[in-house]
Amino acid sequence: EEGRKLYDAIFVGLVYPKRQAYLKQLQPHLGDATLKVGNCTVQDLGGVRMEESHRLYAENVRRAKLFVNLPSLSRLTVTKVYEVAACGTLCLTPIPQGDQRNYAGVPAIFYEPNEPAKLAENIKHWLANDEEREKIAQQFAQTIQESHTLEKRCEAMLAKMRFNSGRPRMHGGKKF
């Protein structure tokens, strides 16, 4: 049924050993909350069918009340955060390492990856508060439409390049 949230919480992506270990730590704290984990890859004898895989991924994300982005090997905010927000689903994601000011506009709820019990409480909180969760998810989706489309990001990059093109460049401490 279109628009209906069928899943409580999901993660769609690779489950490599670091994530398997994290899920093992998280599971005992979830109680009645359900976290479905899987992948949305469509393939045939010719290989992965990317367009259909992306469509299936977005369809599943839209059907979830909550997307739990598991800790990853990357120390950056992964694009999944933006994809989930664009689908109108609230995303819980690990706090990125480094300067937190760089992540002020990221459309997600951050959690401390070293505290799986607290993440489980967070999951239960957001699942129990439909109205609040949906309101924030819609605000994040609007943020994506207003600020994070490919066109907007390219415009911002070009503006930055134009701004920097008039400045002397430094290489190894010397102007060139």
Nearest to 26 by CA among 51, 43, 9, 39: 9
Within 10 angstroms of residue 106's Cβ, the number of other Cβ atoms is: 18
d(C-alpha 49, C-alpha 126), whole Å: 34
**What are the CA-CA distances from residue 132 to residues 18, 98, 138 (Å)?**
31, 29, 10
The confidence score (pLDDT) of residue 77 equals 63
The confidence score (pLDDT) of residue 174 equals 55
Pairing of strands 7-12, 64-68: parallel
d(C-alpha 99, C-alpha 103), whole Å: 8
The confidence score (pLDDT) of residue 176 equals 44
pLDDT < 70 regions, the chain: 1-3, 75-77, 98-103, 148, 166-176
d(C-alpha 113, C-alpha 21), whole Å: 12
The confidence score (pLDDT) of residue 2 equals 59
The confidence score (pLDDT) of residue 15 equals 93
